[in-house]
Structure 1
């Protein structure tokens, strides 16, 4: 039987299994092999073709079961031996997910490639906490920045973003939180609202709300850690404003 090697990179969404797309589910149903990451909700594996091979290639507790080079080689090997390989990655694979790199490697070695976008945690996690990234009168744009570069340094873009009026969303930034907050303080933004959401959209979700000046103490008090998303901007106030509106309506109904 002729095998047509193919890689489909699939976004699993931010963690809530209901936030995966129908197109992603169809890809899982047609897969011969699925390589999945640690941030993928295990419930999603129920959608996989029952005859498919499942291979965990994620990172847990600071340990890599596979290095990226090994994952690339595994994709190509399984593609040529099994046919359709699905690379299931958390969030959206094109937003700090290395999906583009894996597609380029597979294509250069004879695999057909396709991409199924996922709902990015950078958008969905704040939204799940009633934090809009844009809002008239509060923010006209937003930045999504990685907190740690390939050289394990804070992205220079954070410094530029701190000078703007935009909402700033930082992924993989908890290890650099002190540096991030320091940059915003230098811009005179000590009172700027900040939200940190850990394990967003999952049953283990934790959230801390404060300001640039108070956030480090809140993180220590609430024991917030990775995986988490940092949101800095006036839009964070919407969460509390909405809660107040809802409470007033409830009180009126009681009266």
Structure 2
């Protein structure tokens, strides 16, 4: 067995009224719904605070990246980590959701009901917003920082704990980031989905030269204890 390779935990923010209704949400500051706050708390309880799971070890998280948008910040606030106050937390504008331009606040159904019946964001981008290449470039900048943190950990303490990173951001952005992690075209993100308050894990296979997706779109209800009805404290 070689040294433990560090990972990246991707968390999509909890539910908002706009995500619930299917409205494209990028720069608009939308708060979490009460259910969205419950989702984030459950993700924390059943995963990050749960001593009865061995899926992740939150004590290995030594860096946090979060989108500047309020819904991502609120989700991070509701996730409890060991020694969270001492972990380096970076608010990175590159983690802002795809800029939807004229389609901000508009549902795909409404767009298709108009003159753009065949609009496809993965192909067409957004009028007065971003192209997929622009979002991909932002993701590449983030990935360079994530991998640099991993490389530094492996250079200094390859057999020790630590080196993991938590990223809290948005659906389209994280789907593209995952594809770029694999060095795939960003448009391949169309083949993935991310639920609100879901957890995905990026890592490596045997060496940092082979990036992989270890887990995708895991939701917190999978971590509830089945052997007892007692709540997790």
TM-score normalised by structure 1 residue count: 0.34
TM-score (normalizing by structure 2): 0.37
